[in-house]
């Protein structure tokens, strides 16, 4: 049985898939199986994959079912101690797997390890070097309102997935963020500060509608996390009943308490994104409810925009 299962889902990425696959096949660590899922591609992506003959490659074919279900299928049929991700248009530095395996082997209390990344353009040129959030304490704090892991760069201990579960299908976006939150609540997590992954930046700008869906889903994930901290279980089953419709869940299915947590989480996300006018709108919805101390502090910062502006100008990092 190999030590690592690298999982990749491919959908119509004939331009980049060869370079991405080769970056895994050429790793300094070679005790892995490479699970490549063809998610209903209609171009030559899989023809290219099949031309890269290597006994470590295992392919799965099915109709287009989306990234989340494709990854879950690969996880369920893989056999290794560690699960590593790789996106079909990204590139792993040659010693990425070696350094991640070494970290997990030497730190059994950690369940997941990501890496620093470079952002590259469609031509493979480095265009950004994002900051790296590291240390379990800082990561856990950051995850309250944002994602500090590059999805394709992570390696996860299988035993932790057996405990917290895999990706959740009815989260239409930010499924990885939900999984990171669930793992980090039960185990330690870390990012290597070394930049061992090249993430290809999509040229297409996200639409305001897509951004809204992402923000609302992330807030829902935050409310789920609050539920788990209090009750040990969350209301994901209600989202499944609503077939993934977040707005319907909040309007029709959620309790008053859950809506409160959701509004606070969405306000926090807007505040981190430096959109205080939207944060104020969310926080104001909590004024007629029993309000927590930290929620009151949030309101003091954002309802009075002058206080907020002064805080920013003197370098106070609100809710970082």
**318 lies in some domain:** no
One domain for residues 145 and 112: yes
Could you tell me the residue range of the domain that residue 92 belongs to? 4-200
Question: If DSSP codes are grouped into helix, strand and coil, which group holds residue 112?
Answer: strand
**Burial bucket for residue 90 (CB in 10 Å: 0-12, 13-18, 19+):** buried
Question: If DSSP codes are grouped into helix, strand and coil, which group holds residue 178?
Answer: helix
pLDDT tier for residue 317 given thresholds of 50, 70 and 90? very low
Residues 119/127, Cβ–Cβ less than 8 Å: yes
One domain for residues 108 and 243: no
Residue 67's closest CA among 13, 10, 123, 109?
A: 10
What would the pLDDT profile of 147-169 be if each residue is shown by its tens digit?
999 999 999 999 999 999 999 99
One domain for residues 133 and 228: no
The predicted model gives 177-203 an average pLDDT of: 94
What would the pLDDT profile of 9-43 be if each residue is shown by its tens digit?
999 999 999 999 999 999 999 999 999 999 999 99
Where b means 16+ CB within 10 Å and e means fewer, 275-299 reads ebebbbebbeebeeeeeeeebeebb
| d(C-alpha 244, C-alpha 269), whole Å | 20
Residue 228's closest CA among 286, 163, 156?
A: 163
Instruction: Give the Cβ contact number of residue 53 at 10 Å.
Output: 7
Residues 14/50, Cβ–Cβ less than 8 Å: no
Residue 181's closest CA among 236, 131, 104?
A: 236
Percent of the chain with pLDDT over 90: 77
Mean of the per-residue pLDDT values for the chain? Answer: 90
- Total number of domains constituting the chain: 2
Model confidence at 307: pLDDT above 50: no
One domain for residues 179 and 288: no
End of a domain among 170, 200, 230?
200
Supply the DSSP string of 9-66, one letter for each residue.
EESS-TTTHHHHHHHHHT-S---EEEEEEEES--SSHHHHHHHS--TTEEEEEES---
What would the pLDDT profile of 108-123 be if each residue is shown by its tens digit?
999 999 999 999 999 9
pLDDT tier for residue 300 given thresholds of 50, 70 and 90? low
**77 lies in some domain:** yes
One domain for residues 120 and 217: no
pLDDT tier for residue 86 given thresholds of 50, 70 and 90? very high
| H or E segment and range at residue 194 | strand 188-200
One domain for residues 222 and 111: no
Q: Say what the pLDDT of residue 294 is.
A: 56
One domain for residues 27 and 62: yes
Non-local CB neighbours of 157 within 8 Å, separated by 6+ positions: 81, 82, 83, 104, 110, 111, 112, 187
Residues 236/244, Cβ–Cβ less than 8 Å: no
Q: What is the CA radius of gyration of the chain?
A: 21
Model confidence at 288: pLDDT above 70: no
Q: Furthest-apart CA pair in the chain: how many Å? A: 64
The predicted model gives 76-104 an average pLDDT of: 97
pLDDT tier for residue 46 given thresholds of 50, 70 and 90? very high
One domain for residues 250 and 195: no
Question: For the whole model, what pTM was predicted?
Answer: 0.89
What would the pLDDT profile of 206-244 be if each residue is shown by its tens digit?
677 889 999 999 999 999 999 999 999 999 999 999 999
Residue at token pair 């209090």: 230
Residues 244/291, Cβ–Cβ less than 8 Å: no
Q: Say what the pLDDT of residue 302 is.
A: 54
Between 251 and 279, where is the model more confident? 251
Model confidence at 249: pLDDT above 60: yes
One domain for residues 225 and 193: no
């Amino acid at each position: 049985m190999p030590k690592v299962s690298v999982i990749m889902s491919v959908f119509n990425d004939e331009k980049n898939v060869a370079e991405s696959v080769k970056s895994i096949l050429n790793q300094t660590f070679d005790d892995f199986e490479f699970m490549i899922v063809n998610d209903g591609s209609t171009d030559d992506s899989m023809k290219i994959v099949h031309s890269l003959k290597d006994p470590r490659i295992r392919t799965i074919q099915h109709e287009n079912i989306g990234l989340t279900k494709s990854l879950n299928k690969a996880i369920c049929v893989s056999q290794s101690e560690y699960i590593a991700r790789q996106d079909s248009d990204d590139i792993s530095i040659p010693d990425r797997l070696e350094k991640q395996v070494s970290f997990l082997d030497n730190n059994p209390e950690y369940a997941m390890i990501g890496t620093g990344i470079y952002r590259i353009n469609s031509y493979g040129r480095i265009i950004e070097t994002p900051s790296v959030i590291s240390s379990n304490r800082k990561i856990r704090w950051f995850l309250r309102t944002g994602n500090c892991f590059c999805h394709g760069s992570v390696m996860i201990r299988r035993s932790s997935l057996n405990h917290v579960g895999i990706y959740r299908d009815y989260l239409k976006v930010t499924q990885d963020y939900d999984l990171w939150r669930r793992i980090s609540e039960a185990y330690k997590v870390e990012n290597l500060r070394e930049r061992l992954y090249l993430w290809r930046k999509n040229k297409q700008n996200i639409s305001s509608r897509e951004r809204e869906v992402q923000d609302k889903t992330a807030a829902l994930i935050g409310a789920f996390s609050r539920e788990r901290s209090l009750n040990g279980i969350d209301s994901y089953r209600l989202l499944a009943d609503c077939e993934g419709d977040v707005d319907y869940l909040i309007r029709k299915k959620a309790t008053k308490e859950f809506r409160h947590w959701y509004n606070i989480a969405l306000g926090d996300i807007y505040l981190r994104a430096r959109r205080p006018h939207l944060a104020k709108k969310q926080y104001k919805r909590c004024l007629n409810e029993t309000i927590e101390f930290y929620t009151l502090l949030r309101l003091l910062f954002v309802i009075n925009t002058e206080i907020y502006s002064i805080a920013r100008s003197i370098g106070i990092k609100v809710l970082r």
